[in-house]
A and B are shown apart, each in its own frame.
Chain A
Amino acid sequence: MSVDPILFLAILPEIGLVILGGLVLLLDLVLKQPAQRWLGWVTAIGLWVILAVHLVFGAPHPGLTEVWGGMLRWDWMAYVFQGIFLLGASLTALFGMDWDVLGQRGEFYLLALAATMGMCLMAASADLVMLFLAIETTSIPLYALSGFLVRDYKSTESGFKYMLYGATTSAVMLYGFSLIYGFTGTTRIYGVAEIFQEMFTRQGSAAVYALLGIMLLVLVGVSFKASAAPFHFWAPDVYEGAPTPVAGFLSTASKAAGFAVLMRFVIAVLPPTVMGDASSLVGRAGPYMTAVLALIATLSMIIGNVLALTQKNIKRLLAYSSIAQAGYILIGVTAGSSLGQAGAIFYLGAYLVTNLAAFGIVSIVGRVVCSDEISAYAGLSRRSPGLALGLLAAFLSLGGIPPFGGFVGKVLVFAAAIDARLYWLAILGIINSVVGLYYYLTVLKTVYLYRSQEEDSPLRLTRPWVIALAACVVGILLTGTFFGPLYQWSQAAAAALFSF
């Protein structure tokens, strides 16, 4: 049968990643350690090329939404998220290049590429089976990456934990998928709502509870990926144990992938509404969905921020911080409106560069000081003022302070909450922001105020690292000041979510 060549544009990133993966595999066989470090450049540059091509050619065509037999959706949502993943992967490759064991093994790059491909598919999936495949394609390489440092017991522990929890939650989610199939007879994500609506008109509230139950099951798996409470407990241990660049990748791209699925699924199947008409399934069940999502968001924010207050290890602090950040992003999703989803997507984009920068700095400092304790950051501002400023930019962006991207993200999600009349959620959000600012400032205080013995010996920074950090900082500033372009993309992506 003939395939319209234009459909290949839909899977441009995946094709690119496969080719790049093959190239890296080949070079890995040819090159010896430590020359395999050059694979990092190959990966990074290759990813940039793919990104560029994707941006130019990969824009969705109107009218061609469900492609490849309904497996994938070619829309702005997929387009934007795939861009985010590709960027994240390239930055991770650069950050990881000079990280001891990690950067000198070709496996690192390969696993990263594989995971990225899985994420791209996750964002584009329109079919339950495709979605599960994509999730597993993403997760398994990530398990391996977490446990990459086989001689470090913490790393292997984190890999194991991640795998066990991940597998469990995936199984629960799969159970939910199977129930969907059982109830509806289709695996098309975008067809589920319609069928459930028919069920509702025939059988009434039983359909509501069934659908809610299924959504909860699915949310288990998706929340795990997004590190949202109450499925967050893996994050601190895994982030602490995994090699720092991997932790960065997990906390940003992987989380974004999880959110992509969450948003896609929720909006397509059971969008959260505040007040709905009782005659439709969505109207009846929507408020429950809102309540559930609001609850998850609240728990994530509170647990993340409160537990971060007591942390002495910076990677654990960043882990709890990312749990809280997931909560803020969920506020946008909970609002249910186009503005809310756009805000969440914007936030994820700004968050990508922000958290990658943070973990990037942690990776370098951790390597030089041989410690991930916060107290080891004392005197950093004297040792390396530029690094301290980078940390300043990242942490303040996390705190939601202008002129950094986190501020705009927070404004957008809070605006969405207010627009949806979820005032309590917005108030909880701002109270949590204040708490969050406390520990971000405490770290900065350590960096700028406290002294240390080694403050006169400069830190050696390698070129790929500097490039990656510079790109991140530029991104943080751009998303905070000239946020028009990113917002427009987010808006388009959000709009795509709602068009069936």
Chain B
Amino acid sequence: MAFPILSVIVLTPLVAGLIILLIPRERKTEVRVTALAAAILSLVLSIWVYFAYQVSAGGYQFIEKADWLPFLGISYHMGVDGISVPLVLLTGIVVVAGVLISWGVEDRPREYYAFMMFLATSIFGVFVSLDLFQLFFFFEIAVFPKYLMIAVWGSPQTREYGAMKLTLYLFLGSVIALIGVLAMYFASGLRTFDMIALEKANFAPGFQYIWFPAVFFGFAILGGIFPFHSWAPDGHVAAPTAISMLLAGVEMKVGAFGALRAAIMLLPQGAHDWVWLILLLGTINVVYGAFIAMIQTDFKYVIGFSSVSHMGLVMMGFATLSREGFLGAGMQMFSHGVMTALFFAVVGMVYDRAHTREISRLGGLFRKMPWAAIGFIIAGFVSMGMPGFSGFVAEFPVFMGVWRSQPPIYAIIAVLGILLTAAYILRVVSRVFFGDAPVELAGVSDVTVLDKVAVSGLATIMIVLGLFPILMTPMVQSGVDHIVYLLGVIK
């Protein structure tokens, strides 16, 4: 029997979390090391999966299947395809980065790291699930770590509100999606939750027309689609740094991924019927998010809204139902994940030292923390879609997809988002990192070695991918081929 590598990736953080809970609370270093070990193990294994995946063969690989409740058609079914492999890798990267960034947490690190591990398991689990019930199971596990980590360790003024808003909003979205999923279960007549089987289920067009929005938007809420996005800025800003990185960087992709797997791939006719709305909302996301980011006075809120804006491009990519669009969306999920993790990491470093996030009270930080500044600037260029970085290689195909499949006016409107992004990024960079440092910030220290490691790693990935997109595109392309095939069946 083949080594169950996916199960190990998913369950390692869970096991680590449980072990951490048993460690006596005074032994903080052991807690941190355990968490780091688990994160690195998962990362190494996901890198292995990335390179071991056979792009030419395509399809779902590393499959593991066992019965869970056969009477109801629920099975423990794992596998990855060209779309989920990069996302698994992304999760591995961001979790390691998050663990490193959190090294300095002193208030009950045991519970903190245990919850982070549970969150990691949840995210990994969603990406590798091939059974809808299982996908849901892992999807919902994330609810309580998210809530507690924001409410307990987040920024004092807004954490309770931000945590509750985020959790309830996302819970509502997920149960709406659950209803849709259950409806699909019964309508298929196959009495199974197995996604591979359901891909062939051929639901009635009327059924798909009614239920596609429920399933898609239920998941897409977690992806931050307008107008259900307002939980994101409040929640992400209130969260502690590493959690912002995980939430904005990876968890939002879970939502988009769920929407892709459960809605677009299983209800293709419904997708065809509703893409006009998704495209419209996605475009609004891009422009509106960028616009609001421009007028923020809090450094972290700028980044929070920037995430809303960039997820809009993912939605637009989906909505084109084209090869390029899906390719761009897949690349954008990875690129934006790394980028926003870097953004929030640097914001956290600034806040820890300056104790303020007000842009008007910051300045001249380049001299004090050059590594962090350069990392932020690189992330800024990625978000502007500057060629040479991964943002460009992700956005370009999305726009091509829009040109190919949809009224071009959307491309023209969305491109405004690029301009606005450039404006707010340059504004923030010049005010926060350049210029003169205010008196209060005279004593600000440079970032730690671990911080530098995290920043360099993330930045390097974005540059490498931007210069050599061929490292990832064939993989994503193979997953996209399957999606387009499913969509084409009814065309």
Residues of A within 8 A of B143 (CB): 396, 401, 437
Q: Which B185-206 residues have a C-beta within 8 angstroms of A?
A: 185-186
Instruction: Let me know if A368 is at the binding interface, CB within 8 A.
Output: no
> Quick check: B25 and A437 within 8 Å, CB to CB?
no
Instruction: Let me know if A444 is at the binding interface, CB within 8 A.
Output: yes
> Quick check: A444 and B148 within 8 Å, CB to CB?
yes
> Quick check: A418 and B141 within 8 Å, CB to CB?
no
For A483, give the chain B residue with the smallest CB separation. Answer: B69
Partner of B178, one of A414, A445, A448: A414
**Interface-centre pick from A389, A433, A484 (highest chain B CB count, 10 A):** A484
> Quick check: B110 and A385 within 8 Å, CB to CB?
yes
A381 to B186, CA, bound (A): 43
* Shortest distance from the beta carbon of B119 to any chain A beta carbon, whole Å: 13
> Quick check: B140 and A401 within 8 Å, CB to CB?
yes
Instruction: Let me know if A382 is at the binding interface, CB within 8 A.
Output: yes
Instruction: Let me know if B314 is at the binding interface, CB within 8 A.
Output: no
Q: Which A20-46 residues have a C-beta within 8 angstroms of B?
A: none
A491 to B71, CA, bound (A): 9
A445 to B25, CA, bound (A): 20
Instruction: Let me know if A415 is at the binding interface, CB within 8 A.
Output: yes
* Shortest distance from the beta carbon of A484 to any chain B beta carbon, whole Å: 5
Q: Which A404-432 residues have a C-beta within 8 angstroms of B?
A: 407, 411, 414-415, 418-419, 423, 426-427, 430-431
For B147, give the chain A residue with the smallest CB separation. Answer: A441
Residues of A within 8 A of B68 (CB): 484
Residues of A within 8 A of B160 (CB): 445, 449
> Quick check: A487 and B182 within 8 Å, CB to CB?
no
Instruction: Let me know if B45 is at the binding interface, CB within 8 A.
Output: no
A407 to B159, CA, bound (A): 26
Q: Contacts A448-B151, A484-B68, A487-B69; is A396 near B144 (CB within 8 Å)?
A: yes
* Shortest distance from the beta carbon of B122 to any chain A beta carbon, whole Å: 9
Count of A interface residues, CB-CB < 8 Å: 35
Q: Contacts A385-B25, A419-B186, A434-B168; is A392 near B144 (CB within 8 Å)?
A: yes
Q: Which B16-31 residues have a C-beta within 8 angstroms of A?
A: 21, 25
Residues of A within 8 A of B171 (CB): 433-434, 437
Instruction: Let me know if B133 is at the binding interface, CB within 8 A.
Output: yes
Instruction: Let me know if A403 is at the binding interface, CB within 8 A.
Output: yes
> Quick check: B108 and A381 within 8 Å, CB to CB?
yes
Residues of B within 8 A of A389 (CB): 21
A419 to B184, CA, bound (A): 10
> Quick check: A488 and B178 within 8 Å, CB to CB?
no
> Quick check: A438 and B148 within 8 Å, CB to CB?
no
Q: Contacts A385-B25, A403-B141; is A449 near B175 (CB within 8 Å)?
A: no
Q: Contacts A445-B151, A449-B151, A488-B71; is A414 near B172 (CB within 8 Å)?
A: no
Interface of A is mostly: helix
> Quick check: A430 and B179 within 8 Å, CB to CB?
yes
Instruction: Let me know if A402 is at the binding interface, CB within 8 A.
Output: yes
Q: Mark B127-157, 1 if CB is under 8 A from A, else 0.
A: 0000001001110110110011001100000
> Quick check: A441 and B164 within 8 Å, CB to CB?
yes
Q: Mark A377-399, 1 if CB is under 8 A from B, else 0.
A: 00001100100010010001000
Q: Which A341-393 residues have a C-beta within 8 angstroms of B?
A: 381-382, 385, 389, 392
A426 to B183, CA, bound (A): 11
Instruction: Let me know if B72 is at the binding interface, CB within 8 A.
Output: yes
A43 to B172, CA, bound (A): 44
> Quick check: B69 and A433 within 8 Å, CB to CB?
no
For B186, give the chain A residue with the smallest CB separation. Answer: A419
A395 to B176, CA, bound (A): 21
Partner of A437, one of B69, B110, B167: B167
Q: Mark A441-476, 1 if CB is under 8 A from B, else 0.
A: 110110011000000000000000000000000000
A487 to B71, CA, bound (A): 9
A484 to B148, CA, bound (A): 30
Instruction: Let me know if B64 is at the binding interface, CB within 8 A.
Output: no
Residues of B within 8 A of A414 (CB): 178-179, 182
For A441, give the chain B residue with the smallest CB separation. Answer: B147
Interface of B is mostly: helix
* Shortest distance from the beta carbon of B77 to any chain A beta carbon, whole Å: 15
A445 to B171, CA, bound (A): 17
Instruction: Let me know if B111 is at the binding interface, CB within 8 A.
Output: yes
A411 to B183, CA, bound (A): 12
For B180, give the chain A residue with the smallest CB separation. Answer: A418
Residues of A within 8 A of B144 (CB): 392, 396, 401, 441, 444
Residues of A within 8 A of B159 (CB): 449
Residues of B within 8 A of A381 (CB): 108, 111
> Quick check: A426 and B179 within 8 Å, CB to CB?
yes
Q: Which B264-319 residues have a C-beta within 8 angstroms of A?
A: none
Q: Which A176-196 residues have a C-beta within 8 angstroms of B?
A: none
> Quick check: B179 and A448 within 8 Å, CB to CB?
no
For A419, give the chain B residue with the smallest CB separation. Answer: B186
For A484, give the chain B residue with the smallest CB separation. Answer: B69
A389 to B185, CA, bound (A): 34
A407 to B174, CA, bound (A): 13
A430 to B147, CA, bound (A): 19
Residues of B within 8 A of A402 (CB): 137-138, 140-141
> Quick check: A415 and B185 within 8 Å, CB to CB?
yes
Residues of A within 8 A of B179 (CB): 414, 418, 423, 426-427, 430
* Shortest distance from the beta carbon of A243 to any chain B beta carbon, whole Å: 30
Q: Mark A147-159, 1 if CB is under 8 A from B, else 0.
A: 0000000000000
* Shortest distance from the beta carbon of A245 to any chain B beta carbon, whole Å: 27
Residues of A within 8 A of B178 (CB): 411, 414, 430
> Quick check: B137 and A403 within 8 Å, CB to CB?
yes
A442 to B68, CA, bound (A): 33
For B114, give the chain A residue with the smallest CB separation. Answer: A389
* Shortest distance from the beta carbon of B469 to any chain A beta carbon, whole Å: 37
Residues of A within 8 A of B185 (CB): 415
A389 to B133, CA, bound (A): 26
Residues of A within 8 A of B72 (CB): 487
> Quick check: A401 and B25 within 8 Å, CB to CB?
no
* Shortest distance from the beta carbon of A359 to any chain B beta carbon, whole Å: 21
> Quick check: A382 and B108 within 8 Å, CB to CB?
yes
Q: Contacts A402-B137, A407-B140, A448-B152; is A433 near B108 (CB within 8 Å)?
A: no
Partner of A438, one of B21, B71, B168, B176: B168
> Quick check: A418 and B25 within 8 Å, CB to CB?
no
A195 to B136, CA, bound (A): 46
Q: Mark B31-75, 1 if CB is under 8 A from A, else 0.
A: 000000000000000000000000000000000000011011000
Residues of B within 8 A of A392 (CB): 144
* Shortest distance from the beta carbon of A206 to any chain B beta carbon, whole Å: 37
Partner of A448, one of B21, B138, B148, B172: B148
> Quick check: B168 and A407 within 8 Å, CB to CB?
no
> Quick check: A433 and B151 within 8 Å, CB to CB?
no
**Interface-centre pick from A396, A401, A488 (highest chain B CB count, 10 A):** A401
A389 to B168, CA, bound (A): 21
Residues of B within 8 A of A437 (CB): 143, 167-168, 171
For B141, give the chain A residue with the smallest CB separation. Answer: A402
* Shortest distance from the beta carbon of B153 to any chain A beta carbon, whole Å: 9
* Shortest distance from the beta carbon of A362 to any chain B beta carbon, whole Å: 20
Residues of A within 8 A of B176 (CB): 430
For B148, give the chain A residue with the smallest CB separation. Answer: A448
* Shortest distance from the beta carbon of A407 to any chain B beta carbon, whole Å: 6
For A407, give the chain B residue with the smallest CB separation. Answer: B140
Q: Contacts A396-B144, A437-B167, A484-B69; is A418 near B137 (CB within 8 Å)?
A: no
Q: Which A254-311 residues have a C-beta within 8 angstroms of B?
A: none
9 shortest A-B CB distances, which residue pairs?
A430-B175, A418-B182, A415-B182, A448-B152, A434-B172, A402-B140, A449-B152, A402-B137, A419-B186
Please name 4 further chain A to chain B contacts, defined as beta carbons within 8 Å, in addition to the given A418-B183, A444-B148, A445-B147, sorted by A numbering. Answer: A401-B141, A445-B160, A448-B152, A487-B72
The 20 listed contacts between A and B (C-beta, < 8 Å) are: A382-B108, A385-B110, A401-B140, A401-B141, A411-B182, A423-B179, A430-B178, A433-B175, A434-B168, A437-B143, A438-B164, A438-B168, A441-B151, A444-B148, A445-B147, A445-B160, A445-B163, A449-B159, A449-B160, A488-B71
